[in-house]
């Protein structure tokens, strides 16, 4: 369905930015702490978008919000690369984050509508397609690192996304599903809101690890482990393969083993993989560690957002995603600040800490259900 292709395109855009982070850092000559400040501006933009995007979805429909947001995101992407000062980069990333946050609320709210209309769990599969898009974007980025500048790369991807959006716009709008109003459960509005917020906290634990791998794995492989630039770019590709494959199998895994087992087992895998990738001196072991992190965290975020959407519709998705994406986009700046003081390998160990927090949350939510 057209919605799935927009998840795919979103992943392509995100990966395009990720593989060029070292190039942007080198162009400005900033430290890891300085890069962390720039990434924080992106997180702020995303956070601001998520405070209003739920209401936009309710007023204009999720599909229209998706089309507007992905078009604006495509136009914002090429603005990042020409930045010659930290101020310019921070402003460009803030605008990009604003568009990215709005797009993600629209996509996840539309996915919840489809789940309600079809009574089938599709969130993990759609997020798997996002990861597949991330894989495609990372592979393309690795191939183009030596032949195109960052500006040329971003312009190429921007043109592709805009063309794809124009082709898919009408089919996406034809597939619109009426939004279903949600009402608080028997525990009352306060208990209802707390349950949605806890789904967001569960999402933030996963998103922290995802954001850390996305924004810092390439730099870790290149600078700490001395991998070649094109080989380092494929580190995110390996992670994307793992997370995409595991998400595509997510519905079957949950049906067979149960949601809590999937969450707890995944958290344990992510802890082990995160520590291995952070502290090894081997490029091969680091690759394997990032793969294990991807397998472990793959289904945590989509399961958390799906549950929040089932409880609160677009408003629930907006609240949980706002919390969750604070980890996705706020985590990388924190890694940068930590790396400035203790080094990047030690900072990346925070992936294991956030992943471990999934275990008590998953067990608590199982008891609450």
Instruction: State how far Cα 166 lies from the chain centre.
Output: 24
Residue 117: partners with Cβ closer than 8 Å, 6 or more residues away: 177, 178
Global confidence as pTM: 0.74
Domains of the chain, CATH where assigned:
2-368 (1.20.1250.20)
DSSP state at residue 174: H
Cα–Cα distance, 154 to 327 (Å, whole number):
25
Predicted pLDDT at 75: 93
Predicted pLDDT at 21: 86
Cα–Cα distance, 12 to 189 (Å, whole number):
38
Cα–Cα distance, 234 to 153 (Å, whole number):
17
Cα–Cα distance, 356 to 32 (Å, whole number):
25
Cα–Cα distance, 160 to 74 (Å, whole number):
9
pLDDT 10s per residue in the chain (369 long)? 789 999 999 999 988 988 888 888 888 888 877 888 888 888 788 878 877 887 888 889 999 999 999 999 999 999 887 788 888 999 999 999 899 989 988 998 888 888 778 777 788 888 888 888 888 888 888 888 878 998 999 999 999 999 999 999 999 998 766 554 454 544 555 656 777 888 888 988 988 888 888 778 888 898 888 888 778 877 777 888 898 899 889 888 988 898 889 999 999 999 999 999 999 989 999 999 999 999 999 999 888 887 787 777 767 777 787 777 666 667 777 888 888 889 989 999 999 999 999 999 888 777 555
Phi-psi region of 188 (alpha: psi -120 to 50; beta: other; left: phi over 0): left
Cα–Cα distance, 308 to 195 (Å, whole number):
8
Predicted pLDDT at 64: 94
> What tokens were used for 217?
């794995």
> What tokens were used for 265?
């087992």
Nearest C-alpha neighbor of 318 from the set 52, 128, 66: 52
Neighbours of 340 (CB within 10 A): 16
Q: Based on C-alpha coordinates, what's the Rg of the chain? A: 19
Angle at 235 between CA 231 and CA 239, to 5 degrees: 155
Q: Are 164 and 144 in contact (CB under 8 A)?
A: no
Cα–Cα distance, 74 to 38 (Å, whole number):
19
Longest dimension (CA), the chain: 60
Predicted pLDDT at 326: 66
Residue 247: partners with Cβ closer than 8 Å, 6 or more residues away: 124, 125, 127, 128, 131, 298, 299, 302
Cα–Cα distance, 193 to 319 (Å, whole number):
9
> Does an H or E element contain 116, and which?
helix 86-118
């Amino acid at each position: 369905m057209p919605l799935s292709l927009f998840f795919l395109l979103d992943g392509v855009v995100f990966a395009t930015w990720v593989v060029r982070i070292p190039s942007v850092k080198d162009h400005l000559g900033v430290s890891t702490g300085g890069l962390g400040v720039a990434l924080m501006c992106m997180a702020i933009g995303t956070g601001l978008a998520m405070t209003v995007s739920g209401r936009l979805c309710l007023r204009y429909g999720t599909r229209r919000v998706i089309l507007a947001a992905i078009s604006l995101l495509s136009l914002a992407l090429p603005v990042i690369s020409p930045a010659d000062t930290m101020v310019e980069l921070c402003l460009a990333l803030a605008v990009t984050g604003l568009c990215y946050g709005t797009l993600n609320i629209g996509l996840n709210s539309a996915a919840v509508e489809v789940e309600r209309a079809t009574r089938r769990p599709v969130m993990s599969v759609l997020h798997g397609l996002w990861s597949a898009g991330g894989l495609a974007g990372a592979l393309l980025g690795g191939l183009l690192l030596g032949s195109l500048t960052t500006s040329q790369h971003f312009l190429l991807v921007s043109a592709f996304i805009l063309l794809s959006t124009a082709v898919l716009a009408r089919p996406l709008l034809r597939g619109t599903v009426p939004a279903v109003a949600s009402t608080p459960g028997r525990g009352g509005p306060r208990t209802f809101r707390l349950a949605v917020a806890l789904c967001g906290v569960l999402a933030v634990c996963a998103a922290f690890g995802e954001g850390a791998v996305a924004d810092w794995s390439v730099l870790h492989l290149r600078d700490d482990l001395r991998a070649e630039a094109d080989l380092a770019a494929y580190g995110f590709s390996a992670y994307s393969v793992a997370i995409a494959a595991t998400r595509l199998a997510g519905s079957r895994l949950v049906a067979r083993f149960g949601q809590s087992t999937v969450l707890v087992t995944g958290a344990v895998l992510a802890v082990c993989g995160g520590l291995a990738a952070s502290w090894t001196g081997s490029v091969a072991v680091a690759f394997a560690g990032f793969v294990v992190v991807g397998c472990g965290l793959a289904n945590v975020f989509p399961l958390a957002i799906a549950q929040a959407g089932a409880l609160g519709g677009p408003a629930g998705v907006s609240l949980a995603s706002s919390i969750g994406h604070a980890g996705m986009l706020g985590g990388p700046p924190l890694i940068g600040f930590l790396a400035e003081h203790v080094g990047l390998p030690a900072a990346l160990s925070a992936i294991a800490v956030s992943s471990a927090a999934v275990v008590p949350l998953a067990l608590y939510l199982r008891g609450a259900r």
